[in-house]
Amino acid sequence: MNLLLAIVIAFVHTLLLSQDVLARSGAVHQVLLRAALINAVLFFFNLLPVPPLDGGHVAQSFMPYRYRDQYNQIARFAPFALLALLCVPELRVVFTWPAQHVVVYLYEGFGRVFGVA
């Protein structure tokens, strides 16, 4: 859902820029850019194979049954791993780096469609 929301925001934002409805220096422009980026970050964050997140459920569904008990025991410590990912800037790059590239790709693609440089 977050990826879809990032796509919709980038589409609408680029459309508004192409019609000169928004100024590139305005507050709404900055809010829309950040909203697209935040949704892309949340998309990649949710993909992490940590149990409370969607990626954890996907990882568990592909896991052989004989390892699920061990996985569930380790899952108790998952909130601490998530906290470390959020608090340590060097670890945040795991989900911010791909999110930035996705947002740039979206804006470049929609920019070509609408003729916005």
Q: What is the pLDDT of residues 88-115, one digit of tens each?
A: 888 888 889 999 999 999 999 999 998 8
Average pLDDT value for residue range 15-27: 89
Extended strands (E) in the chain: none
Is it the case that residue 10 has pLDDT exceeding 90? yes
Q: Residue 16: what residue type?
A: L
User: pTM for the whole thing?
Assistant: 0.83
User: Is 14 within 8 Å of 116 (Cβ atoms)?
Assistant: yes
**Per-residue confidence band for 28, with pLDDT thresholds at 50, 70 and 90:** very high
User: How many residues appear in the chain?
Assistant: 117
The percent of residues above 90 in pLDDT, for the chain, comes to: 48
C-alpha pair distances (Å), 10 with each of 3, 81, 113: 11, 31, 12
